[in-house]
Structure 1
Amino acid sequence: MWARDPAADERTMPRSDRWDIEVPFHIEIDVEAADIDRLQHVNNAVYLRFLEQAAWAHTEALGLDWATYQALDAACVVRRHELDYLLPAELGDRLQVATWIVDNDGRLTMWRAFQIRRVGDGRTLLRARTQYVTVGLSNGRPKRMPQRFVDAYRPVAEAGG
């Protein structure tokens, strides 16, 4: 008979009632009526807006604002999103949207992780990863990452890793 090893589960599958890393940067968002779809929960596209809000807040907290992007003639644009919807968020929920950098090649691309938790019960509702590519603002073409980006967008270790 196969016996389940809870310790092994904990190493491979993060618990839903805690952050995936020790102390992530996060913002809080209240779910409003405009965020709700016909199924009476937050619409899939709205989650992308929440992720973008957290990413920009984190970027600014790292000392990179839009004026800096313009001065460097560089920006990070989305190349790929990976989203895992785990539980629905509903009208009135207060959400914590966390983000951190998981990989940065120091040249062109980086990956940012996200985790959304409901404040009321601590449950994780969504986990996501986004890959960004550095481009020139003046021409929209791929551009080597400025040293300022390399320094600010440093990866952090994930729990258990």
Structure 2
Amino acid sequence: MNWELPSPFVIDIEVSAEDIDGLGHANNAVYVSWLERCAWRHSQFLGLDLVEYRRLDRAMAVVRHEIDYLASAYEGQHLQMATWIVESDQRLKMDRRFQLVRPEDGLTLLRAKTTFVCIELSSGRPKRMPAEFIEGYGKALTPPYPLEL
């Protein structure tokens, strides 16, 4: 696969009938759910699942999505979503990039960047990342690359 950055975390996606809107292609809101699914699976892979979030009373919450929809996805297609953690201040903020590709022709359907902020679950307020987040997400940090979509 021709990924735009090295060493991605990748999930497989099958476009289902429920993903299709009145225009006959995957709805843009479905793409956002795929971003979330990919980010969560990567967090789980890094050992930072909901159980750990609750134990630490911390979570990474989305504060901004930047999405470029480049091409449509259709029912029955197999897609792959990749993610990379590209920036972290190791205090409050972390950025992920995403790329959605259709393997059959290598076409990139979407590029996105999501900014997360660390919050305290019990209050919902921004709080510093615990050491477990700095270590866990830090080991997946991709070397600096241009962040333009």
Q: TM-score, normalised by structure 1?
A: 0.86
- Return 5+ residue gaps in structure 1 as ranges: 1-16
Give the fraction of aligned pairs with identical amino acids, expressed as a percent.
51
Match of 2:109 in 1: 125
Match of 2:44 in 1: 60
Other structure's SS at 2:35 match: helix
Asked whether the equivalents of residues 87 and 144 of structure 2 are also in contact (C-alpha less than 8 Å), the reply is no
Q: Which structure has the larger Rg?
A: 1
Give the distance between the partners of 2:73 and 2:144, measured in 1 at CA: 25
- Return 5+ residue gaps in structure 2 as ranges: none
Q: TM-score, normalised by structure 2?
A: 0.93
Match of 2:142 in 1: 156
Q: Which of the residues 21, 33, 58 maps onto 1:49? A: 33
Please, what is the CA RMSD of the aligned residues? 1.6
Match of 1:4 in 2: none
Matched, 1:146 2:148: no
Deviation at residue 66 of structure 1 after TM alignment = 0.8
Match of 2:65 in 1: 81
- The Cα offsets for residues 62-86 of structure 1, whole Å up to 9 and x where unpaired, read as 1111110011000010000000011
Match of 2:80 in 1: 96
Asked whether the equivalents of residues 24 and 100 of structure 1 are also in contact (C-alpha less than 8 Å), the reply is yes
- Stretches (4+) displaced over 2 A: 157-161
> Are residues 136 and 159 of structure 1, via their aligned partners in 2, closer, same or farther at CA, if it must alter by over 3 Å?
closer
Match of 2:95 in 1: 111
Asked whether the equivalents of residues 83 and 98 of structure 2 are also in contact (C-alpha less than 8 Å), the reply is yes
Deviation at residue 23 of structure 1 after TM alignment = 2.2
Deviation at residue 119 of structure 1 after TM alignment = 1.9
Give the distance between the partners of 2:112 and 2:86, measured in 1 at CA: 11
Asked whether the equivalents of residues 73 and 137 of structure 1 are also in contact (C-alpha less than 8 Å), the reply is yes
- The Cα offsets for residues 23-80 of structure 1, whole Å up to 9 and x where unpaired, read as 2001001000110111111100000000000000000011111110011000010000
Higher fraction of strand: 2
Match of 2:23 in 1: 39
Aligned-partner residue type, residue 43 of structure 1: N
Q: Say how many residue pairs are matched.
A: 145
